[in-house]
Amino acid sequence: MSELRKITPQKLLWVDLEMTGLDPRQHRIVEVAAMVTDWDFNELGAYEAVVHQSPQVLERADPIAKQMDKTSGLWDKIPHGLPERDVEKALCDFIKQHFGDQPALLAGNSIHVDRMFIRAYWPSMDKLLHYRMLDVSAWKVVMIGKYNIQFQKSEKHRALDDIRESIAELKFYLDKAKFNDANS
């Protein structure tokens, strides 16, 4: 772990998963998007896929997640999605392409939930990730609780749209915090 502490990430790996619910013991991943950015949030690469799940898995979907997936148009695409092993392999290749041997710093909204699913279902991908994460929802809690400042989300519930919205949300909070940019 001491070797990992010395690494200063030059890029971020933004990930968003759409799942059949929030419990990795009973729910599954149905869509993933990943985007690599620099610290100015310039997009350096992106990957997205719908993940095939069986009718039995879909029957166990949480009703709220199922409704969101139906509203977003995702639900009808799941039976035609890619096999989960193929998606994990493609994600691992994507991460290695952009991060080489360095662990990727995972970023996103409530990213700890996505990380639970990654650990449960995509262990090869999990091994490529840094132990630290950048969670935009932590910024949300501070900005709402302390400053009553809230970012208005569109709630599209599609993975790549959600990543772009998470990046916009973090930029919004950083602008409100008015940090001095040492690079300016």
pLDDT digit string, tens, across residues 59-95 = 999 999 999 999 999 999 999 999 999 999 999 999 9
Q: Would residue 183 count as lying in a domain?
A: no
In the chain, how many domains are there? 1
Q: What domain range is 116 assigned to?
A: 2-177
Q: Which residue has the higher pLDDT, 27 or 153?
A: 27
Q: Would residue 184 count as lying in a domain?
A: no
pLDDT (0 to 100) of residue 183: 53
Q: Kindly tell me if the per-residue pLDDT of 7 is higher than 90.
A: no
Express each pLDDT in 15-37 by its tens digit. Answer: 999 999 999 999 999 999 999 99
Q: Kindly tell me if the per-residue pLDDT of 181 is higher than 90.
A: no
Q: Would residue 44 count as lying in a domain?
A: yes
The chain-wide mean pLDDT, for the chain, equals 93
Q: Would residue 76 count as lying in a domain?
A: yes
Long-range contacts formed by 111-118: CB under 8 A, 24+ apart = 111/15, 111/135, 111/136, 111/137, 113/22, 114/15, 114/16, 114/17, 116/24, 117/17, 117/19, 117/24, 117/27, 117/29, 118/15, 118/17
Q: Would residue 14 count as lying in a domain?
A: yes
Buried b (16+ CB within 10 A) or exposed e, 34-43: bbbbeeebee
CATH number of the domain encompassing residue 14: 3.30.420.10
Q: Would residue 182 count as lying in a domain?
A: no
Catalytic residue numbers, as ranges: 131
